[in-house]
Amino acid sequence: MIDEEKHKKKFDRIGKRWRQSIDKVKEYEIIEDEEEDYGEFIPSIPYGIDYRGYEEAEKLKHRLLKKYKGKKLEDVIEGKKLKTPKGVCYHIECQDKINLKVINPKHARKKILSDLKLICGIREETERIMKKEGHKTIYDLTEHPRFGSDAKRFVEIIDKCDTCQIIDWVGHRFSKSHPLILYSSGLHNKEDFIIFDIESMGLFTRPIILFGVAQISGNHILINQYLLRDIKEEPAALTGFLSHIDEDSVFITFNGRTFDVPYIRERLTYYRMKGDLEKPHFDILHFSKRAWRGCVPNCRLNTLEKYLLGIERKDDVPSALVPDFYETYMRSKNIGPLIPIIEHNKQDLVTLANIFSKLHEEWG
C-alpha cells in the first residue's frame, strides 16, 4: 500500500512538472472570431500538401461554412453528450458490415512454430538439415542437446499466448514487419482488437481533438468517436477512449507506434491521468511497406485505400489540414469544418480494418 502511494505521488509530480513546462508556452489558444471572410491572406501550406490540394480544401471549407451556418452539431451528426468524471465530450456511435479475415489460431501457431530460424544459432542451411532429420517444428527441438533450451522457452511463450514476447522475439531474430508477427495476431479473438486513430491539433503538446475507436463484433465493425466541441473537453474524450481498453486488448493502428500511442501517453501525462497502453500492438504501416512497397506509389493509408480497396474519397480533409479546419470551427462557431474531420476519422478506421484483413489474405 505504501509503495502504491509512493508511485502515485511520483506519477503526480512527473505530470505536474510536464504540465508546468508546457503551460509556459501557453498550451493552446483559439482566438474567437465570428467573421467568416478571411480576406486575401493565405496561410502557409502544411508540409505534404500541394497547392492544388490546399485550394480544394479551402473551397471545401467555405462550402461547408455556408452549408452548415446556424446549424447545431447534434442536428447534423447523431450523437450524445458523454458525461465522465473528467467532464463531458461529444460521443458518436455507428456500425457497418465487415468481413474481417484473420489467420486461424491453429494455423497461426503452426506457421510460427514451423520456422526453426527463430531459434538462436539456426540459419537457413541448419534449418534444412534439422528438418531433414525430422525436426519439423520448434516443438520438435525442445529435447535437442544444443537448441532445446531456447526452443522450450519459445514454446512456453506460444503456449501462454504472450503476444508481446512473441513480437519481441520475432523482431529480434527478423524484423518488426515480418509476417510471423502478423500471424501472432491470429492467436487472439477478433473482439479483442482495438483499432484506433486520432486527429490532433498538430504535433505533440497540442490537444487531441478526436479519438476514433473501432471494434469487431461478428460481421460488424462498431465505431465510437469522442469529439472535443471545445479544447476543455479533452480529458473527457481521453476517458471515453480508455473505456474500451481492458486486459485482453490488442492494438491495431497505422503508424500508431510512432505517433498515436506516444501522443496519447503524452496527453495522459499532461492531465495526470492513468491509462494502460502497454498492449500487443500491430502497426499496419510497417507490414504494408513490406507487402506492397513497389506496387503502389507510396504507403500512405489513403493511397493503399485507393489501390487495394478501390476507394477514392470525395470532400475529404487531408490530415495535415485538420488543425486548420478545427481552428476555423472554433473561431466561427460553425460546425461545417467539423463534418469532414469526423468522416475522415471514421473512414480511416474502416480502411485500417480492411487493410489489416488484406494483409492476412496476402500472407496467410
**DSSP secondary structure of 46-102:** PTT--HHHHHHHHHHHHHHHHHTTT--HHHHS--EEEEETTEEEEEEEEEEE-----
Residue 202 sits in the same domain as residue 307 = yes
Same domain, 166 and 282: no
Picking from 187, 214, 240, the residue at the C-terminal end of a domain is: 187
Question: Same domain, yes or no, for 305 and 160?
Answer: no
In a structure prediction context, what are the per-residue pLDDT tens digits for the chain, which is 364 residues long? 555 565 556 556 655 655 555 554 445 555 454 444 434 444 556 655 666 778 889 999 999 999 999 999 999 999 999 999 999 999 999 999 999 999 999 999 999 999 999 999 999 999 999 999 999 999 999 999 999 999 999 999 999 999 999 999 999 999 989 999 999 999 999 999 999 999 999 877 899 999 999 999 999 999 999 999 999 999 999 999 999 999 999 999 999 999 999 999 999 999 999 999 999 999 999 999 999 998 999 999 999 999 999 999 998 998 889 999 999 999 999 999 999 999 999 999 999 999 999 999 988 7
Q: Based on the fold, state whether residues 155 and 219 are members of the same structural domain.
A: no
Tell me: do 280 and 294 sit in the same domain.
yes
Question: Is the distance from CB of 187 to CB of 159 less than 8 angstroms?
Answer: no
Q: How far apart are CA 340 and CA 73, in angstroms?
A: 13
Asked if residue 1 is part of any domain, the answer here is: no
40 occurs within a structural domain: no
Residue 307 lies in a domain: yes
Domain around 162:
105-187
| 20 Cα distance to chain centroid | 28
How many domains, in total, are found in the chain?
A: 2
Last residue of a domain, one of 136, 153, 187: 187
Instruction: List CB contacts of 7: < 8 A, sequence separation 6 or more.
Output: none
Residue 166 shares a structural domain with residue 80: no
Residue 22: count of CB within 10 angstroms of its CB: 17
